[in-house]
Amino acid sequence: MYAYSLAAAHVELPHQMVRTLMMSDTGNQREGWSLIDDLPAKKMCELGLNIRSTDRSLPGVMHYCQRYMIGKHFFGKRRLPKDFLTCEKPLLFEPPPDVGEKFNYKIPPPPHKPPGEKKPLNEMQQRREAFAICVITRTLNDAATFWKQHACEEGKANLNKILDLWSVEEMHTSTGR
């Protein structure tokens, strides 16, 4: 990136700032969230679960680097089991379509102290967290389903949507520990 920056500056290459390319941090005002912020909370999960069939302009990237939660619905990349892409592992539990309307709080998963603490979400956070949870869940389930249909022996793929990341206790890091 450094070499590119120097070369671009040297030849005076013009650039255009694109602030709607991706979504990641639900509290960030400089990402693509503005493309969905006008939707009511009750529509967020519906859009997230049907992301491929919308005519709406959306960012091209959902960056899975944050922890997303609404109610007890949770996604954190370090809680996704390493064996998620196996024939035996179930798919992720899908939130209800009205999750964005149903919960105006989040309950961080264990080992958060105090256990069960409800942390309030403002309306913007409520909509964005619901959208992120629903998009990520659907995308991972679609990818795992495709993999299982092509890699697993017939009748051996676990396609049950019951894996709840809020309850997964084993966490891992990028170093494999």
User: What is the rounded CA–CA span in Å between residue 90 and residue 162?
Assistant: 6
- The closest alpha carbon to 99, from 173, 168, 45, belongs to 45
Q: What is the pLDDT of residue 95?
A: 94
| pLDDT score for 169 | 82
The candidate with the shortest Cα–Cα distance to 9, out of 20, 21, 1, is: 1
Which pair of tokens denotes residue 130?
Answer: 């619901």
Which stretches of the chain are assigned E, i.e. beta strand?
22-23, 61-62, 68-70, 73-75, 91-92, 105-106, 119-120, 161-163
- Output the pLDDT for position 53: 79
**Chain mean pLDDT for the chain:** 90
For residue 176, the model assigns a pLDDT of: 57
Residue 177 has a pLDDT of: 56
Helices (H), 11-118: 41-49, 99-102
The whole-number pLDDT of residue 172 equals 75
Tell me the pLDDT tens digit for each residue of 9-24: 999 999 887 778 889 9
